[in-house]
Amino acid sequence: MHIHILGICGTFMAGVAQLAKQAGHRVTGADEAVYPPMSDIIAASGIDVMQGYDACQLIPRPDCVVVGNAITRGNPVFEAVLNQRIPYQSGPAWLAQHILQDKWVLAATGTHGKTTLSSMMTWILTANGYNPGYLIGGVPVNLNQSAQLTDAPWFVIEGDEYDTALFDKRSKFIHYQPKTLVINNLEFDHADIFADLAAIQQQFHHLVRTIASQGLIVTPVNDVAIEQVLARGCWTPITTVGLGEGNWSAQLVQEDGSAFEVFYQQAYQGRVQWPLLGLHNVSNALTAIAACHHAQVAPADSIAALNTFRGVKRRLEVKGQVNNITVYDDFAHHPTAIAATLQGLRRHVERANIIVLIEPGSYTMRHGIHQHTFVNALAAADCVICFNTGDWCAQLTRTSHPPIQVLDSVSHIVEQATQVVQPGDHIVIMSNRGFGGIHDKLLQALAKIN
């Protein structure tokens, strides 16, 4: 079958493309912006990618066009698909029909932590010989790729609440029908498609309705927004995780979350000691252990796997160390996630200076929807330099705590960072976009400091 994918360079659609190729289909694709890293990953898979959306790319006629959710009416290729009556599907629908049928699907959902959590679950299953398939919205360091198709019955997927396609406004995860569902947390986000938290909760309620009575739902304790969803109707067993409470609980050995003990029903299961930081990652680990326990992985075996887990690229990933200055890259998209990451790093580096260079990249952040919690989310930093993405940024002030400077160019941010940084400092670059290639520019500038 020849499958042509519109919007192929998006993280999710690139994963669909890789899975389709591995399944033996002929795969081509197109996108308006074709650039690394996704373009490199797709090219390495032997998939031809076209720049732009010229209708001539439908010659020869594909058997099916898979349409990404960034595609809108008026797109020349999609208009030609409709006019020529070429069969088309959304990415999630194609995935459900051709990949997930008869699989034990483990889905990681929630506002934060989906990529890290799905990476942990995949690594636990992989390290214990389960050979799972997976589709993750990032690249786990241990696996070095974001998607893999196998013959095994298990499949781990990152369950995004974003909408499916221009012709299907349900959340992507509605299509997956997981047997093991994790709802990691639930807050307001994606203001471009959701009016409020209640609208997101409605989608999660629909998701809960698809989980079998012999399945399992894993949730944190005391998350009111999740509890409200489940109170509307739940027909599936639930297990809970938490720090010092819940069916699965943790006791910290190191305050920064780099070591902790795991308990199930108050019985000791083992110790996780790893390079990851933050209480959010302790919670992610407990959740991954609970989910994989449902797939018959013994807790001790999950813990052993997590002790060798090396994290996910762009999740507080060390990009380099120059002149005793450590530079990190973090995929920041929401104040809660920003705060959790910086608090974990603060506990780890103690009194060392933390300098944050941040680009509010998501639609919700760019438009100032979270502006009232933005400064507080950065409280663990000593200095913040913010890329100006809107009028609300201009309201940020140097007199806030931490002091925030707002600059209009990457070059000015790099220049200012090199002026304030000292040996022993930690610089965290936070953005869910490319941030103008600031990572390499900063490392080069730091190398020139005498």
- 396 compared with 144, residue with greater pLDDT: 144
Per-residue confidence (pLDDT) for residue 364, from 0 to 100: 67
Q: What is the mean pLDDT of residues 119-125?
A: 98
- 304 compared with 330, residue with greater pLDDT: 304
Q: pLDDT band at residue 450, thresholds of 50, 70 and 90?
A: low
pLDDT tens-digit profile of 160-211? Answer: 998 999 999 999 999 999 999 999 989 877 777 788 999 999 999 999 999 9
- 150 compared with 318, residue with greater pLDDT: 150
The pLDDT of residue 330 is above 80? yes
The pLDDT of residue 367 is above 70? no
**Closest C-alpha among 14, 13, 2, 12 to residue 58:** 2
Per-residue confidence (pLDDT) for residue 131, from 0 to 100: 98
Q: pLDDT band at residue 139, thresholds of 50, 70 and 90?
A: confident
- 81 compared with 447, residue with greater pLDDT: 81
Per-residue confidence (pLDDT) for residue 37, from 0 to 100: 65
Residue 235, CA atoms < 13 Å, CB-side half-sphere: 11
Q: pLDDT band at residue 375, thresholds of 50, 70 and 90?
A: confident
Q: pLDDT band at residue 398, thresholds of 50, 70 and 90?
A: low
The pLDDT of residue 227 is above 80? yes
pLDDT tens-digit profile of 22-63? Answer: 999 999 999 997 766 677 778 888 899 999 999 999 999 999
Per-residue confidence (pLDDT) for residue 74, from 0 to 100: 97
So where are the chain's domains? 2-91, 100-306, 317-447
Give the fold, CATH level 3, of 2-91. Rossmann fold (3.40.50)
Report CA torsion sign: 209, 169, 176, 100: positive
Please state which CATH number belongs to domain 100-306: 3.40.1190.10
Average pLDDT of the chain to the nearest whole number: 91
The pLDDT of residue 376 is above 90? no
Q: What is the mean pLDDT of residues 313-340?
A: 86
Q: What is the mean pLDDT of residues 296-321?
A: 92
Q: What is the mean pLDDT of residues 366-393?
A: 81
Per-residue confidence (pLDDT) for residue 5, from 0 to 100: 97
Q: Which pair of structure tokens corresponds to residue 211? A: 């989980």
Query: Rounded to 10 degrees, what is the CA torsion of 381, 220, 13, 135?
Result: 110
The pLDDT of residue 312 is above 90? no
Q: What is the mean pLDDT of residues 229-240?
A: 98
The pLDDT of residue 234 is above 80? yes
Q: pLDDT band at residue 17, thresholds of 50, 70 and 90?
A: very high
Q: What is the largest CA-CA distance in the chain?
A: 65
Q: What is the mean pLDDT of residues 224-241?
A: 97
- Of 233-247, 328-342, 395-409, the range with the lowest mean pLDDT is 395-409
Per-residue confidence (pLDDT) for residue 35, from 0 to 100: 65
pLDDT tens-digit profile of 334-360? Answer: 788 888 889 889 988 899 999 999 998
Per-residue confidence (pLDDT) for residue 52, from 0 to 100: 94
For Cα atoms 85, 91, 95, give the angle at the middle one, nearest 5 degrees: 110
Residue type for 246, please?
G
Q: What is the mean pLDDT of residues 7-26?
A: 93
**Closest C-alpha among 35, 33, 26 to residue 4:** 26
pLDDT tens-digit profile of 96-114? Answer: 999 999 999 999 999 888 9
Matching CATH number, 317-447, of 3.90.190.20, 3.40.50.720, 3.40.980.10, 3.40.50.970: 3.90.190.20
Per-residue confidence (pLDDT) for residue 112, from 0 to 100: 84
